[in-house]
Each structure stands twice: as structure tokens, then as C-alpha cells.
Amino acid sequence: MEQTFIMIKPDGVQRGLVGEIIGRFEKKGFSLKGLKFLNVDQAFAEKHYADLSSKPFFNGLVEYIISGPVVAMVWEGKNVVTTGRKIIGATNPADSAPGTIRGDFAIDIGRNVIHGSDAVESARKEIGLWFPEGVANWSSSLQPWIYE
Ligand code: DAT
Ligand code: MG
């Protein structure tokens, strides 16, 4: 089954949105496979966002991600990468539809509350970076009520 990497950024933690965000993925029917609450350092944040290292906002982005603890998660389910991105909403909260996490809880692009992998391949890379020890092995007993 497909997996994605989801991270609640420091602003999401500070603003008390952890339960709300986890609840949205849970209620959708996705399965939580990995979860940790941690601070990352500059080198780690730069690695996570390596693809964006040439962007003018890169240094500010790294400073933001290391400014407080984050919630790192692995979620599993059918099409979870694409659907997870839809649940999160557009990168710039000015363009995120109401009903999405960023549309409901964010205003500025540099404080957009949450990260989600943008493709199956980047999800695989990000899960490897954030969860080198692996994730939990379980499957929900509700699966027959979620999948036909
Ligand atoms: P996403 O997080 O939706 O995958 P991204 O990977 O293009 O978006 O960029 C990573 C983060 O960098 C994004 O969540 C917020 C920040 N960012 C992106 N574009 C930006 C811009 N033009 N100005 C400031 N910050 C930006
Ligand atoms: Mg991205």
C-alpha cells in the first residue's frame, strides 16, 4: 500500500493544530504508520529541502523548519500521496481552497503549517530520511469498512 511523509511544521505545533491535522488524516481513513515529535537541525532541514537549495527563500525556509519541534508522520492508504496533497491544499495559503488544511489554518506561504510529499518517489526518499529505523507494522481492522 502507498505511503506518504507528512510533517506538521513548527507553526502548526505552536498553534495547537496537531490533533486537528492528525484527525483529518485519520477520519479520511488513512492509517498512521509512523509518528515522532522532534527538533531537526540545520543540516537535516537542508537535506529535507535539498531540491529547493537554489531558491531565494531557501534560508528562510530552513530557519523556519528548525525554529521549533515538528511532528513527522508516515501515513498509508490508496493514493495517499495525491490525496494527502489535496487534504493539505495549495502551497500558497492565498490559493488554498477552504476545507484544506492550509486553506483553513494559514495565511502566508512561509507559515503554511504542514508538509506533504509531492510524489511516490519523493515520499520514499523522505520516509527513508525521517524514519531510517522503519515504521510500525500493523493494519487497521477497519480496512474492510474503508476499502471495497
Ligand atoms: P509544498 O510545501 O507545497 O510542496 P514546495 O515544495 O514548492 O511546496 O516548497 C516547500 C516550501 O517552501 C513551501 O511549503 C513553502 C516554501 N515556499 C515555496 N515557495 C515559496 C515562495 N515562492 N516564497 C516563499 N516560500 C516558499
Ligand atoms: Mg514540496
Nearest Cα residue to atom 8 of ligand 1: 91
Query: Across the chain, what does the average pLDDT equal?
Result: 98
Which residues neighbour ligand 2 (ion) by CB within 5 Å?
118
ipTM above 0.90, yes or no: yes
Residues 81 and 4 sit within 8 Å (Cβ to Cβ):
yes
Tell me which residue of 113, 108, 124, 4 sits closest to 57, measured CA to CA: 108
Classify residue 102 as exposed, middle or buried by CB count within 10 Å of its CB (0-12, 13-18, 19+). buried
d(CA 136, CA 5): 14
pTM greater than 0.90? yes
Q: How many CA atoms lie within 13 A of 102 on its CB side?
A: 26
pLDDT score at 57: 98
Say how many Å lie between the CA of residue 148 and the centre of ligand 2: 31
pLDDT, one tens digit per residue, over 9-58 is 999 999 999 999 999 999 999 999 999 999 999 999 999 999 999 999 99
Say how many Å lie between the CA of residue 112 and the centre of ligand 1: 9
